[in-house]
Amino acid sequence: MRTQHTYSIGETSAMTGISLRQLRDWEGKYIPEPARISVGDRLYRRYTPDDIRLLKKINENLDKGFTLSAAAEKATGEMKQEETGHEE
């Protein structure tokens, strides 16, 4: 079984251009909560490649002038279209 590579919140911020604070604020509201790994008594966020793609799409939509909620909704729809290979 192949393990999917995941990224820390810092790596995710660097790859997407979204600040650490924004990522934390968006969690559970506009993006799914990232997986967490336990190291000792601490939990660390881990983002998948699909999470990174979604975040980049949200950021692109924000740059186009969409509100955050509209940008997230549009990005989620775009991801679903890519997965199914057709437009709804």
**What CATH number is attached to the domain comprising 40?**
1.10.1660.10
Q: Which amino acid is at 76?
A: T
Evaluate whether residue 18 is within a structural domain.
Answer: yes
Residue 10 has a pLDDT of 97
Evaluate whether residue 66 is within a structural domain.
Answer: yes
Evaluate whether residue 42 is within a structural domain.
Answer: yes
Residues of the chain predicted below pLDDT 70: 1-2, 86-88
Residue 63 has a pLDDT of 97
Evaluate whether residue 54 is within a structural domain.
Answer: yes
Residue 16 has a pLDDT of 96
Evaluate whether residue 4 is within a structural domain.
Answer: no
Domain count, the chain: 1
User: For residues 2 and 67, what is the distance between their CA atoms, to the nearest angstrom?
Assistant: 37
Residue 87 has a pLDDT of 55
Domain carrying residue 41 = 9-83
pTM attached to this predicted model: 0.84
Residue 2 has a pLDDT of 63
Element (H, E) at 6: none
Residue 62 has a pLDDT of 96
Pull the structure tokens for residue 8: 């820390």
Residues 6+ apart with CB under 8 A from 75: 54, 57, 58, 60, 61
